[in-house]
Amino acid sequence: MPRRVPPQRPSAKRSSVKSPPVAEGGKRPLKTLERVLSKAGFGSRTEARAWIGDGRVSVNGLVMRNPDQWVDLERDYITFDGKQVRDQARRYILLYKPKGYVTTYQDPEGRPTVYDLLEGVDQFVAQVGRLDLDTSGLLLLTNDTQLAEALTNPERHFPKTYLVKAAGLLTEEQLETLRRGVELSDGLTRPAEVKLLRHTPTCTFLEMAITEGRNRQVRRMIEAVESKVLKLVRVQIGPLTLEGLSMGTFRELTAEEVAALRALTGGAKSGQR
Ligand code: URA
């Protein structure tokens, strides 16, 4: 049975940025058929429109002559002259997220999202894990689903390092508690690497490396030892650091960095979102 082709919908509007409609679940933007074909490297958008008009393109087994039809490359089976169309290019983006940006594709409250910072990135890339609105620092985004899943798989214990400014003067005993792991509402955390950087008269600066990605984990761990996070910056994801990035900017990972991430996750293969 061919799958139903999704109906055309007008673009949803978010602030001044024009967004495409999103797939069920709100996670992936849809693309027009013409764009999917040209992005997959078949030819220009003008050529793609002509081929679609000529009836050479099918979506879920049905010839589709409308180049502006919205499609979801992950769920729709698209063929050109009988050959499956896939978006080949993998993107691995390392963003220095500022505070005040949400890490979702569309925010119902209209706040700025990290996608507003990805100017010129026209494939959809999903964020690997999350950072709170008030957290700044490194956020990896990619359309390589397998690597993303490997990096967020709690069994792999992939390390992420945070610079923490905590209220009050944390004692060695409190730091030891963090190191051993603390009991949170969703269970005991894994041990953390905790380094005291310095005390000021009113607060403590720490570096904390954790190997899980639970919701607000660092904030909740610090609260569990009776302090409060005043500032949180993710400074490292595995081997990736903030070096060379200024706040609000991003860069592509090098092939060596992608290979290093794969090796650290036990050799995840490349997969398309
Ligand atoms: N831990 C937190 O509490 N917040 C983040 O944004 C990331 C890790």
Q: What atom of ligand 1 comes closest to residue 162's alpha carbon?
A: 8
Atom in ligand 1 nearest the alpha carbon of residue 135: 6
- Counting ligand 1 atoms within 8 A of each CB, the residue from 103, 136, 218 with the most, and so the one to mutate, is 218
Q: What is the pLDDT of residue 98?
A: 98
CATH number, domain with residue 170: 3.30.70.1560
Q: Domain limits at 44?
A: 13-84
What does the alpha-carbon distance between residue 221 and residue 200 come to, in Å, rounded to a whole number?
Answer: 21
The closest residue, in CA terms, to atom 2 on ligand 1 is 216
**Cβ atoms 162, 208 nearer than 8 A:** yes
User: How many whole angstroms from 21 Cα to the centroid of ligand 1?
Assistant: 29
Q: What is the whole-number distance in angstroms between the Cα of residue 133 and the centre of ligand 1?
A: 9
Name which of 137, 30, 21 is nearest 127 in CA terms: 137
Same-domain status, 128 and 254: yes
Same structural domain, 226 and 196: yes
- CA 195, 200, 201, 202 torsion-angle sign: negative
Q: How far is the CA of 96 from the centre of ligand 1 (A)?
A: 15
Is 149 found in the same domain as 19? no
Same domain, 196 and 228: yes
Q: Are residues 233 and 253 in the same domain?
A: no
Pair 179, 221 in one domain: yes
**Cα→Cα distances 205→90, 112, 132, 180, 228, Å:** 37, 29, 19, 19, 12
| Block residue for tokens 């009050």 | 168
Both 19 and 61 in a single domain?
A: yes
**Residues 143 and 257 reside in one and the same domain:** yes
> pTM for this one?
0.71
Q: Is residue 273 part of a domain?
A: no
The answer on 169 and 146 residing in a single domain is no
Q: For the chain, how many structural domains are there in total?
A: 3
Same structural domain for residues 65 and 194? no
Q: Is 272 inside any structural domain?
A: no
Atom of ligand 1 nearest to the CA of 213: 8
Domain of residue 114, CATH code: 3.30.70.580
Active site residue 134: no
Task: Give domain status of residue 269, yes or no.
Answer: no
Task: Determine the pLDDT at residue 267.
Answer: 66
The active-site residue out of 116, 132, 144, 186 is 132
- Cα 90 to ligand 1 centroid, rounded to whole Å: 27
User: Could you read off the pLDDT tens digit of each residue along the chain, which spans 273 residues?
Assistant: 344 444 333 333 333 344 667 766 666 678 899 988 777 656 678 888 998 999 999 999 999 999 999 998 778 889 887 777 776 678 899 999 999 999 987 788 999 999 999 998 876 688 999 999 999 999 999 878 788 889 998 888 899 999 999 999 999 999 999 999 999 999 999 999 999 999 999 999 999 999 999 999 999 999 999 999 999 999 999 999 999 999 999 999 999 999 999 998 876 655 544
Q: Is residue 8 part of a domain?
A: no
Q: Is residue 197 part of a domain?
A: yes
The answer on 248 and 117 residing in a single domain is yes
Do the domain assignments include residue 18? yes
